[in-house]
Amino acid sequence: MKKRTKKLGKYEIGRTIGEGTFAKVKFAKNTDTGESVAIKVLAKTTILKHGMVDQIKREISIMKIVKHPNIVRLHEVLASRTKIYIILEFVSGGELFDKIVRHLLSHNYGRYFLISWRLSFLCCWFPPGKYLSPLDSLLVHRVRLPENECRQYFQQLVNAVAHCHSKGVYHRDLKPENLLLDSSGNLKVSDFGLSALTQQGGRLLHTMCGTPNYVAPEVLGNEGYDGAAADVWSCGVILFVIMAGYLPFDEIDLPTLYKKISVAQFSCPPLFSPGAKSLIQKILDPNPKTRIQIEGIKKDPWFQKHYVPVKPRDEEVSLDDVLAVFDDIEDQYVSEQPLVNEGGPLIMNAFEMITLSQGLNLSALFDRQQDYVKRQTRFVSRKPARVIISSVEALAESMGLKVHTRNFKTRLEGRSANKVGQFAVVLEVFEVAPSLFMVDVRKAAGDTLEYHKFYKNFCSKLESIIWKPTEVPVLLDQ
Q: Which helix (H) or strand (E) holds 78?
A: strand 74-79
* 123 Cβ neighbours under 8 A, 6+ residues apart: 447, 448, 449
Closest CA to 178 of 168, 164, 166, 167: 164
Residue 49 annotated in ligand binding: yes
**Quick check: is 191 catalytic?**
no
Strand partners, 422: 415
Closest CA to 275 of 365, 187, 391, 151: 151
Q: Which helix (H) or strand (E) holds 104?
A: helix 96-106
- Indicate the DSSP class of residue 319: -
From CA 71, how far away is CA 73, in angstroms rounded? 6
Task: Calculate ∠ Cα 239-243-244, nearest 5°.
Answer: 115
Chain length of the chain: 478
Cβ-contact 297, 279 below 8 angstroms? yes
Closest CA to 27 of 334, 436, 352: 352
E-strand ranges in 80-172 read: 83-89, 169-170
Amino acid at 338: P
Cβ-contact 310, 70 below 8 angstroms? yes
Residue from 173, 231, 300, 447 carrying the catalytic annotation: 173
Q: How far is CA 206 from CA 132, 164, 233, in A?
A: 38, 19, 17
Binding-site residue positions for ATP: 49
The residues assigned a catalytic role are 173
Binding-site residue positions: 49
